[in-house]
Structure 1
Amino acid sequence: MSSEFLILTGLSGAGRSTVANALEDLGWYVIDNLPPKMLVPLAHFIEDPAHEIDRLAVVIDVRGGELFSDLEAQLDELDGLEVRVNVVYLEASDESLVRRFEKVRRPHPLQVGGTLLDSIRAERQRLSGLRSRAQTIIDTTTMNVHQLTNRVFELFGEAQADTVTVTITSFGFKYGLPLDADMVADMRFLPNPFWDESLRSKTGEDRAVSDFVLSQPGAKEFLDEYERALTTVLAGYLRENKRHAMFAFGCTGGKHRSVASAIEMARRLAQHPRLSVKVTHRDLGKE
């Protein structure tokens, strides 16, 4: 089996150190702040059967100064090799990054004469092309250290060459979109159980709510078609060596329709071969 080669990058303050530490705990060999021009020689190194490194993670970011500008060209060269490369990009909102830098009282790597917010926005612009090339994007805006560590364990703890790890999550639109979702389904076309007093206090995890949601006109037809669409997408992910996927189901508050739909889709996808499926509920309990 070929080695796994992970390139960890993204915005300063978005959690790269936390992710790097979690990867080390999972047995990955982690190299921090590597000059991008070393990527291709390193790829050849880990593909040599004489070396026993099968999972390597490299942290590369704007701390490298002018050297960092070589990264995209090196990624182009890696595309021509047979090594399996996964670019993981970490990001967060401007507001959360400002709070994090103010808390640790450290300067931003690009902060010279402007404000902290100017530096964050300049870095975001500079990395926009790199973000578009990432196979995995993790938005850490609402995550604490423990939640981010758990996310890394989910994504990279049990990598299997012939399996896609699928996370199905529910959410409430009133709390914002999950920015790291690969696809989002809007379940607000179904009647809201909130208006039924017997169901209002229950959640989509309860049988009564689930039966109500899934029995509505159009619910089964939508899920049938969406299941077919997702399995087609996941087959493509396997062909393209994308081993992790997140599909989100949303409703107004993330309590009824989205929860029931996410659980049902997770049940369906778990019956397909080469898929490892789990379900989470981002906003359940917030109301």
Structure 2
Amino acid sequence: MADALNLVVITGMSGAGKTVAMQSFEDLGYFCVDNMPPGLLPKFWELVKESGKVTKIALVIDLRSRAFYDEINDMLANLDNTSFVTTKILFLDASDEELVSRYKETRRSHPLAMEGRLMDGISKERALLNEIKQRAQLVVDTTTLTPRELREKLFENFKLKDVATFHIEVISFGFKYGLPIDADIVMDVRFLTNPYYVPEFKPLTGLDEPVYNYVMQQPATEEFYERFSGLLHTIMPGYQNEGKTNLTIAIGCTGGQHRSVAIAKRLGADLGQQYAVEVTHRDVNKRKETVNRS
């Protein structure tokens, strides 16, 4: 592989937050694998090296038995002697009282106490994990952490400089074809004068310069855009602080060909100066497709 493989082994006490951790690493762009049997790992590494496309992997390991634990230790020892893998162990912990409370709340059985006392299972697991906890590069006590706070802590420790953890999707659409069901914010721009009724603009779209300029040069457009973009810039940090990683902004006009496309194009360029933004024009060719079918 041209690039070194960054591997994070996520382990720790059952109920301490491994599911939240895995979801956080997925948002950080890691390829996540949950509870892969250690015996399959050699073949997995072969596939990773052959592909050359995966550079960040997070393995969630739940130690359920002594035999499983010994296999994991052997795996980690082998990785320590491998030049192409940089390995970090993340250990999630919590107090016995908090773990009991979480299990009672979810009504789940502890994996090491399926038919016994919950505390017996927690004690057995804690003893089993003690050695790997000592080897961990990062131990996080989640006793008093909310899921959002745990995500923030993991982002702080594992985010790479070139990875954006907050993404904005700007979509233009036509109301006649329905609202985008995944939209977080929807703005209706049908109040702007429609270029569709200008004969030379009818076959064009908001991506074409004449139509784009026509929309932007309307007196109502600039006032609207300044207010709308200003509002978005004001609220974006709030979404980030709440732990949201993806935000979809939908801009709609009648057919999704002229006005919404022009506004979405400008908004994408504007927000793209500060955030990771992707612009999609969902219905820009719908009218052409309908004409071709008729």
- TM-score, normalised with respect to structure 1: 0.52
Give the structure 2 partner of residue 151 of structure 1: 153
CA distance in 1, matches of 2:17, 2:95: 12
Task: Tell me what 1:21 maps to.
Answer: 23
Mapped to 2, the partners of 1:39 and 1:141 lie a distance apart of 31
Question: Who is 1:61 aligned against?
Answer: 62
DSSP 3-state at the match of 2:88: strand
Query: What is the CA distance between 1:88 and its match in structure 2?
Result: 1.0
**TM-score when scaled to structure 2?**
0.51
Q: Go from structure 1 to structure 2 and tell me whether the alpha carbon gap of 1:56 and 1:16 turns closer, same or farther (over 3 Å shift).
A: same
2:141 corresponds in structure 1 to 139
CA distance in 2, matches of 1:103, 1:51: 43
Change (3 A) 1:126 1:64: closer
Equivalence for 2:13:
11
Unpaired segments ≥5 residues, structure 2: 163-294
Judged with a 3 Å threshold, the aligned counterparts in structure 2 of structure 1 residues 35 and 5 are, in CA distance, closer, same or farther, namely: same
Cα displacement (A) at 1:46: 3.0
Give the direction of change, closer, same or farther, for the CA distance of 1:159–1:73 in structure 2 (3 Å limit). farther
Task: Tell me which residue corresponds to 2:202.
Answer: none
**Which residues of 2 match residues 20-39 of structure 1 at below 5 A?**
20-39=22-41
Deviation (angstroms), 1:62: 2.5
State the 1:44 CA deviation. 4.2
Q: Which amino acid aligns with 1:147?
A: E
Partner of residue 252, structure 1: none
1:88-137 CA-partner distances (Å, limit 9, x unpaired): 11111101100110010000000134311111111000111111111111
Deviation at 1:67, TM superposition (A): 3.3
State the alpha-carbon separation in 2 of the partners of residues 14 and 57 from structure 1: 17
Question: Aligned AA for 2:88?
Answer: N
1:3 touches 1:53 (CA, 8 Å); kept in 2?
yes
Residues 149-174 of structure 1: per-residue CA shift (max 9 Å, x gap): 111111112268xxxxxxxxxxxxxx
> Which residue of structure 2 aligns with residue 101 of structure 1?
103
Match of 1:130 in 2: 132
CA contact (8 A) 1:33 1:63 kept: no
| Total equivalences in the alignment | 159
* Post-superposition offset of 1:68: 4.1
The answer to whether structure 1 residue 46 and structure 2 residue 53 are counterparts is no
SS at match of 1:14: coil
Closer, same or farther in 2 for the Cα pair 1:128/1:65, shift >3 Å? closer
Alpha-carbon distance in 1 for matches of 2:91, 2:140? 6
2:81 aligned residue? 80
8 A Cα contact 1:7 1:87, kept in partner: yes
**Residue 132 of structure 1 aligns to a residue in which SS?**
helix
Q: What is the CA distance between 1:138 and its match in structure 2?
A: 1.1
8 Å CA contact retained: 1:35, 1:68 = no
Q: Is the CA contact (8 Å cut-off) linking 1:40 and 1:77 kept in structure 2? A: no
Deviation at 1:69, TM superposition (A): 3.5
**Contact kept? 2:66, 2:128, Cα under 8 Å:** no
The answer to whether the 8 A contact 1:3-1:46 is kept is: no
Distance in 1, matches of 2:17 and 2:35, equals 14
| Secondary structure, aligned partner of 1:34 | coil
Return closer, same or farther for 1:12/1:85 CA change in 2, 3 Å cut-off.
same
Equivalent-residue separation in structure 1 for 2:103 and 2:79 (angstroms): 33
Q: Secondary structure at the match of 1:143?
A: coil
> Residues 94 and 120 of structure 1 are in contact (CA less than 8 Å); yes or no, is this contact kept in structure 2?
yes
Conserved? CA contact 1:36–1:71, under 8 Å: yes
Q: Which string of whole-angstrom CA distances, capped at 9 and with x for unpartnered residues, describes residues 31-72 of structure 1? A: 101112233443344344x42111111111124784343111
Q: Is the 8 A contact 2:92 2:141 kept in 1?
A: yes
The whole-number CA distance in structure 2 between the counterparts of 1:44 and 1:90 is: 28
CA contact (8 A) 1:60 1:68 kept: no
Q: CA RMSD in A?
A: 1.9
Structure 1, unaligned runs of 5 or more: 161-287
